[in-house]
Amino acid sequence: MDADSRIARRLDWTVLIAVACLACSWFFMSSLITDYGAVQLQFRFYNVLTLMHSPGRIVMGASGDGASWDAWLFGSVCAAAILAALAPAVSTRKAAWLGCVAPFALMALSGAILYHGFSQDLVADDGFLGDTGLRLGHLANQLANRVGGMIARQIHVGLGGYLSLAASAFLAVKGLRGYQKGS
């Protein structure tokens, strides 16, 4: 049996299509969109690191201080996750199938970090400013939550977010099944 037929047996065309969909959705399609009516701020998945550093950028866009560096850095991590999904094509080891789980794991971890960042209070209650500071901090957090609620209604998941979620979930299931079969 030659190498080409072994690769074809281990990695079918559905995995290659899922990897292509994942690459397109992460690098060329909008994952998150902030819609202000006439103006839309579009975020691709590789911009997520900028939002992790500063969740407030969801209302201003992913540009400015360090956003390009964040995009290059997280884009490299995304590319590595996509290449990991192709591991069964180049390795016959059983553990190579776990590489297909990498894109889904990256999306889940990024989503959890973003959720944590977006749900934090604006003013932390550290007791440093006393009772008056506590009340002012509480007021500021209430106002920020109201404004945040209005802004949250303007944020929605783009086609790239849905496509990447579907493709990464498919790859994760395919990778776990391949790992269980042990071929």
Q: What angle do CA 174, 179, 183 make, to 5 degrees?
A: 105
62 or 50, greater pLDDT: 50
Q: Could you identify the residue written with the tokens 């500071």?
A: 133
Distance CA 2, CA 86 (A): 19
The pLDDT of 87-110, averaged and rounded, is 92
* Contact between residue 144 and residue 122 where contact means Cβ atoms under 8 Å apart: yes
Residue ranges covered by each domain of the chain: 3-120+155-181
Q: Give pLDDT tens digits for 134-174.
A: 666 666 666 666 666 666 667 788 999 999 999 999 999 99
Sign of CA dihedral 123, 125, 127, 132: positive
Distance CA 172, CA 19 (A): 11
The pLDDT of 15-20, averaged and rounded, is 94
Q: What is the pLDDT of residue 8?
A: 47
CATH class of 3-120+155-181: mainly alpha
Q: Could you identify the residue written with the tokens 């199938």?
A: 97
Q: What is the pLDDT of residue 61?
A: 75
Q: At 157, phi and psi to the nearest 5?
A: -80, 135
Distance CA 23, CA 26 (A): 5
The torsion angle over the Cα atoms of residues 35, 36, 39 and 40, rounded to 10 degrees, is: -10
Give the CA distances from residue 55 to residues 15, 103, 113, 114, 116, in Å, rounded to whole numbers and listed in that order.
33, 22, 10, 7, 10
Distance between start and end Cα atoms, the chain: 15
Q: What angle do CA 70, 150, 152 make, to 5 degrees?
A: 40
135 or 99, greater pLDDT: 99
% of the chain beyond a pLDDT of 90? 39
Q: At 155, phi and psi to the nearest 5?
A: -105, 130
